[in-house]
Amino acid sequence: MSIEEELRARSGSVCELCGADTGLAAYEVAPSDGSADQCILACSICRTQLDNPESVEANHWRCLNDSMWSQVPAVQVIAFRMLHRLRDEGWPQDLLDMMYLEDDVRTWAEAGLAAEKAPRHVDSNGAVLEAGDTVTLIKDLDVKGSSLTAKRGTAVRNIRLVADNPEQIEGKVEGQQIVILTKFVKKSG
Ligand SMILES: [Zn+2]
């Protein structure tokens, strides 16, 4: 059986979140090994909103009122994360308070939350920086441990993000790999 067939058998061919019976496909619940146990069957509306936090319509997720009680851990994980995302609406917090998760399921659910909350690297204007971007220095910077001053206006190409520090990026200035504070750079168009 394919994953989707397994999921259809498990769910009775309906979205395991909202019960819709159209636009169904497997949705991996990250971090996932791709097995049916770590996927859910979800409709296109649910999948779109799961992947695009800005498109979430809180009212659609009233369906979690029922589906949060699913016996399927992957469904519980998604319900937990979505309620968490929406908790400022009030009612999702009430549901979260009622929700019970086994320890290992809770660990899985929270692993996803941590990933969502991972701080992003942003420049002096708040623009999100990605590895490989080019940035411009907005002030003269003395490079630690050398006589080099990186001049304001210098373009730094192909930056790297310092993984454990959202305030730092790395890039080459005059052939030297240096650490630069994100508040001193501006992303180039
Ligand atoms: Zn759905």
Residue 37 Cα, ligand 1 centroid: separation in angstroms?
18
**Ligand 1 mean position to 81 CA, how many Å?**
15
Q: Does pTM surpass 0.85?
A: no
Q: pLDDT at position 117, please?
A: 65
Q: For position 164, what pLDDT does the model report?
A: 80
| Weakly modelled stretches of the chain, pLDDT under 50 | none
Secondary structure (H, E, C), 118-152: CCCCECCCCCECCCCCCEEECCCEECCCCCCEECC
Tell me the CA–centroid distance for residue 51 and ligand 1, in Å: 13
For residue 114, the model assigns a pLDDT of 72
Cα distances (angstroms) measured from residue 189 to each of 2, 45, 133, 186: 45, 33, 9, 9
Q: How far is the centre of ligand 1, averaged over its atoms, from the C-alpha of 188 (Å)?
A: 40
Residue position matching structure tokens 């917090």: 93
Model pLDDT, residue 165 = 87
Residue type, 179: V
Residue 60 Cα, ligand 1 centroid: separation in angstroms?
Answer: 8
CA 15 – ligand 1 centroid, Å? 5
Whole-number Å distance, alpha carbon 20 to ligand 1 midpoint, is 5
Tell me, what's the pLDDT at 118?
66
Spacing, Cα 39 to ligand 1 middle (Å): 14
User: Which of 117, 105, 132 has its CA nearest to residue 187?
Assistant: 132
